[in-house]
Amino acid sequence: SSGINAEWPLRPGISFGIVMGLYMLVCAGITSVAPFYTMSDNAAMANAFSGYPWMTFIVSLGAVLATATGSFSGLMVTSRVMFSMGEDGILFRSLTAVNKLTQVPWVATLVSMILPAFGILLLDIEELVKMNSGGMLICFCLTNICVIVARYQPPRTDIFATDTTVMERLSIYFSFSCWIFSLLAWLLLHQLGATVIGIILFVVMTTVAGVNVFLIQYKLEEIKLEEEAFRCPLSPWIPACGIWVNSGLMIALPLMTWVRVVACLVVGQICYFAYGLRHSTLTLQKKDCSSATEYVRLTDHFTVTSDTEHLIN
């Protein structure tokens, strides 16, 4: 989401790395001031300096500013996702409107502000946080799977090509198998606890998940890839570790949270099949209506040429 706005896409990663390092240093400093088990769940940092009122005020102010920064970061990500989906036709193409002066997708940003605001006003904030965590964990797992699959996806000149190779199908199968067995491992450990049978089943399921990663590494790697193929350091082990860790966090969430997340996913699927599938650029291209995907970028918005407007609508 932020890489598309950078001349050098690695810069956002470096900035996020610096922020992560600062967070880790703050956590280490706080736990050196007071033991973690004595801290409050609501305001741990402020309570750690309870003996110094002026320090408590500074820490609380910093926490408020950090929360605002996190909110702005989430707003940027959400608006860019909506913008990209609008470009693909999965959502309304009016979401691709860009401000003439700032070159910011203002419609997508405005929608990204209004919808969460209504959710916060009408629903319980604690449940919303849990639902957001569940959705993000699913996205993280799917992202790791996509990193593995992209490694074995041959370069294509046609971005609308939908045919898959044997390598892609095998990488998808092994990646999802790794995810399923990772979920089973954490689920069994969560249900059975730290008992002998629970630990044994956890180790067995984790081993099976690792076997799938091993098959990706040593079976698919035998197939020679072109130089232009997607590369990732220590792939597929690092993405597989991400899948395994995120699966454990998914199992830790309450059952009712997942019921609500599934309900939201169902609503999303209904919207996709009712609107997005019929209006997407890929669907129009499949219908040999490639001219319908030709856009004219004006100074402040995207529009469709007049001879293709009836195909979009």
CB neighbour list of residue 179: distance below 8 Å, 6 or more residues apart: 141, 145, 209, 243, 247
pLDDT value of position 224: 53
Q: Nearest to residue 228, comparing CAs of 174, 155, 124? A: 155
**Model confidence pLDDT, tens digit, residues 261-270:** 999 999 999 9
Contact 91, 85 (CB under 8 A): yes
pLDDT value of position 117: 84
Q: In 10 A of CB 180, how many CB atoms?
A: 16
Contact 139, 170 (CB under 8 A): no
Whether residue 3 has pLDDT greater than 60: no
User: Does 93 or 4 have the greater pLDDT score?
Assistant: 93
Mean pLDDT, all residues of the chain? 79
Whether residue 161 has pLDDT greater than 70: no
pLDDT value of position 204: 95
User: Does 173 or 37 have the greater pLDDT score?
Assistant: 173
Contact 83, 112 (CB under 8 A): no
Distance, in Å, from the CA atom of 212 to the CA atom of 125, rounded to the nearest integer, reads: 39
Distance, in Å, from the CA atom of 199 to the CA atom of 29, rounded to the nearest integer, reads: 34
Tokens, residue 182 = 């990772």
Whether residue 238 has pLDDT greater than 60: yes
Of 42-56, 102-116, 118-132, 229-243, the range with the highest mean pLDDT is 102-116
